[in-house]
Structure 1
Amino acid sequence: MFSLVVQMEVRPGRREEFLAGMAANAEASVRDEPGCLRFDVCSVEADEHRFVLYELYADEAAFAAHKASPHFAAWRVIAEEVLVGQVNTPGRLLVTHPSEESA
């Protein structure tokens, strides 16, 4: 499985706009993309302008499909306005231990 960790910094005063746009992107990703298995948006403690995303895809082709989706294109328009910067770290899921609640 293809994984992606994204660190994002949001411009001051744009947090709510970021959260609305990112929530729509994440929701559409897991709802509309069969290859998108997980899309988590996390805040960073003690810094309201920093966020970490954890995304999990069936494979690299599923991630490519995500980047070609209409909801990702809509998100990129918002991102241009609200982000100071971001760092993407792609990888592979090697081990997972889901709780019984999420299984």
Structure 2
Amino acid sequence: HIMGACAPSRGYKVFCVNVTLYVKPDRREEFLKVIANNKIGTDTKEPLALEYTWGVSKEDPNTFHFQEKYKGEEGFKAHQAAPHFAKWEEFVSTDPFTKAPEVQLFEAY
């Protein structure tokens, strides 16, 4: 139950990340491969990752929304240090976006 995961009685705060990405149309297929790899790695190799959900905007097929939840900020830092995230960073370094990503970081209670 998601709400239970946010309860303070769990002994940790849930660190949340919401991201919107605007991918160049000619980079869409490459983006989808890289992000699929990131999701599989997050879901199977990160014990501090609680949720890694992404989807395509209903208004624009090249706009993607992400919702991520981790056991504390240390969970997010572990995600950023993971090998699959390094592949994501490599992709990001190649200028694949039409505009800057929008990122919100917060703790859920």
TM-score, normalising length: structure 1: 0.85
> Which is higher, the Rg of structure 1 or of structure 2?
2
The Cα shift of 1:49 comes to 1.2
The one-letter code sitting in structure 2 at the alignment partner of 1:17 is E
Checking the alignment, whether the CA contact within 8 Å between 1:18 and 1:79 is kept in structure 2 is: no
Query: Match of 2:108?
Result: 93
For residues 107 and 45 of structure 2, what CA distance do their matches in structure 1 show? Answer: 22
Secondary structure in structure 2 of the residue aligned to 1:61:
helix
Query: Match of 1:97?
Result: none
Q: Deviations over 1:52-72 (max 9, x none)?
A: 100010110010111111110
Any gaps of 5 or more consecutive residues in structure 2?
1-13
Higher helix share: 2
Query: Match of 1:68?
Result: 81
Tell which deviates more after alignment, 44-53 or 81-90: 81-90
The one-letter code sitting in structure 1 at the alignment partner of 2:104 is T
Query: Match of 1:9?
Result: 22
The Cα shift of 1:28 comes to 0.2
Query: Match of 2:50?
Result: 37
The Cα shift of 1:83 comes to 2.4
The one-letter code sitting in structure 2 at the alignment partner of 1:83 is F
Query: Match of 1:24?
Result: 37
Q: Deviations over 1:54-96 (max 9, x none)?
A: 00101100101111111101111112232232111011223xx
Secondary structure in structure 1 of the residue aligned to 2:93:
helix
Any gaps of 5 or more consecutive residues in structure 1?
95-103
TM-score, normalising length: structure 2: 0.81
State, as a whole percentage, how many aligned pairs show the same letter. 31
Aligned alpha-carbon RMSD (Å):
1.1
Query: Match of 2:8?
Result: none
